Structure 1
Amino acid sequence: MHTLADNIQLKAPQLTDAPALFACIAADRDYLVQWLPWVATTRAVADEAAFLRYCQTRIAAHQLWLAVIWVAGQPAGMIDLHEFQDDHAAVGYWLSREHRGQGIMTRCLATVEVIGFHDLGLHEIDLLADPANHASRAVAERRGFQRAGVLREHLPLAQGGYHDAVIYSKLSQEFTD
């Protein structure tokens, strides 16, 4: 567990988190599905529980680092490091509607940078964002990630087709606590 503030914590995923996480997804489905294609297939608590079991397996195999974001004692989103290869990883995240715009994700990303660069010894962390996802892009920019380019038609959409992805990266030598 990582405590970021009195009311914000990052905790290892537990199957008991599934109902609260699913409720966050269901309440914000129309917004989240714009950016995250998996939202369309997360239709029940059982789907979220299956995802958490899958994550626990990948975490145990050192193929994923993932935490549930807790705000005021309740699960409110997730953040992870994935696609580990050659001392690089990608970061992904989502946060429930009522907690966006408060700097929570920026704080969470700062903690994940410490974990990635210090604990896991990464050289680079990448972050992909839809060009229209201004909130996610702002998080990357506030944390000093550098815009590295655009991957054309890279992000799958839930309704089919693809969107471009702005790629941001941060190198270990650019990281400061």
Structure 2
Amino acid sequence: MFKYQVNEDLYLRMYTIDDAAPLYHLINESRDHLKEWLAWVDFNTDVEASKEWIKGTLNGVFETGGYPKTLAIIYQEELVGTVGFNEVNRTHRYASIGYWLSEKKQKKGIITDACRAIVTYGFQDIGLNRIEIRAASGNKKSRAIPERLGFQEEGILRQVELINDEFYDHIVYSMLAKDWLKKNG
């Protein structure tokens, strides 16, 4: 199974079907926190929905030619969130990443470290040239991640996402492989 060690306390790994119940409970305990910015939360209504989502992530490995698109964030041996490639364009070698973290595990640097790891993985192991992060303009916590990692703000996609019957703009951030290598060796 794919595992990407980030630091002593943190690693990323592929989801397994056995993660369905812990994933559902994690989402459920952070439901109000997550649904403010993530439209899919209302569709994850039980363990079976989590299981079906995990099956989809596992199928994504075959679609990409063998690398995982979606990874569980494991902090101190506990599932605490997800980071992954929402979209991968193999022809033009770019991807968009997304992430979320349990409300209880915020402010520990976990999501920043997880995103740094998946960006490095995308450039070094997959051979991507460009990675972008899109975040709702009002989601200051999510926007802080690409800013902290040195991504360049490119612009605004107007009213691109519908969450809780309201349209939100996205701020688009990007990083190129050559710039990442300069910053991170």
* TM-score, scaled relative to structure 2: 0.91
Unmatched 5+ stretches in structure 1? none
1:137 partner letter = R
What are the within-5 Å matches in structure 2 for residues 20-99 of structure 1? Answer: 20-62=22-64, 65-85=69-89, 86-99=92-105
Task: Please state how far the C-alpha of 1:82 moved relative to its aligned partner.
Answer: 2.9
Q: Return the alpha-carbon distance in structure 1 between the equivalents of residues 134 and 59 of structure 2.
A: 24
Give the RMSD, CA atoms, in angstroms.
Answer: 1.2
2-structure distance, mates of 1:153, 1:126: 18
User: In structure 2, how many angstroms separate the alpha carbons of the residues matched to 1:156 and 1:34?
Assistant: 11
Choose the corresponding residue for 2:147, options 134, 138, 141.
Answer: 141
- Partners of 1:172 and 1:6 in 2: CA distance: 26
Distance 1:19 1:72 in 2: 18
Q: Which residue of 2 aligns with 1:102?
A: 108
Match of 2:166 among 156, 161, 169: 161
Give percent identity, aligned residues only. Answer: 27
Compute the TM-score of the two structures, normalised by the length of structure 1. Answer: 0.95
Query: Which amino acid in the other structure matches residue 107 of structure 2?
Result: G
| Count of residues in Structure 1 that have an aligned counterpart in Structure 2 | 176
Aligned-partner SS, 1:76: strand
In the alignment, which of 122, 142, 156 is matched to residue 116 of structure 1?
122
Instruction: Check whether the contact 1:146–1:170 (CA below 8 A) recurs between aligned residues.
Output: yes
Runs of 4+ in 1 over 6 A off after TM superposition: none
Please list every run of 5 or more consecutive structure 2 residues that lacks an aligned counterpart in the other structure: none
Q: Is residue 130–residue 166 contact of structure 1 (8 Å, CA) maintained in 2?
A: yes
Cα distance in 2, alignment partners of residues 156 and 173 from structure 1:
34
